[in-house]
Structure 1
């Protein structure tokens, strides 16, 4: 427990110490920037691309290829 004579740690100090503990465990921070799937622009582009694929003359072959390389576990009961 912290004595009343010691100043409280700032958020910045707490974060620094937390990161130091993680680094001591052999971890390192990594930052990922991903598309905002909730943005109007993303949704419009995803829709445009899905329509282009669905209307492609090679759609059936394309889907067969995706199915062939996908890792499906047929033993999973999908009714759960």
Structure 2
């Protein structure tokens, strides 16, 4: 009996979301609970950091973009 009530509410909620123009999707994300997950994140971050440190063109681009953002925010005040 209780499951039917929950199912009805879920169906009603999903119908309202669809009526609002939304659609359900399923996504898969990394399981952060797995053993070794944190170590793998650290390993990948170190690789990215090393690549970024060696890319001087990217660094100049990011600094220029940051200046554009800073100037744009100050100009709006």
TM-score, structure 1 as length reference: 0.53
Aligned residue pairs: how many? 66
Match of residue 63 from structure 1: 59
Match of residue 16 from structure 2: 21
TM-score, structure 2 as length reference: 0.54
4+ runs deviating over 6 angstroms:
none
**Structure 1 residues 1-80: aligned runs within 5 Å:** 7-8=1-2, 9-10=5-6, 12-35=7-30, 39-40=37-38, 41-54=40-53, 56=54, 59-69=55-65, 72-74=69-71, 75=73
Distance in structure 1 (CA, Å) of the matches to 2:64 and 2:32:
27
* Structure with bigger gyration radius: 1
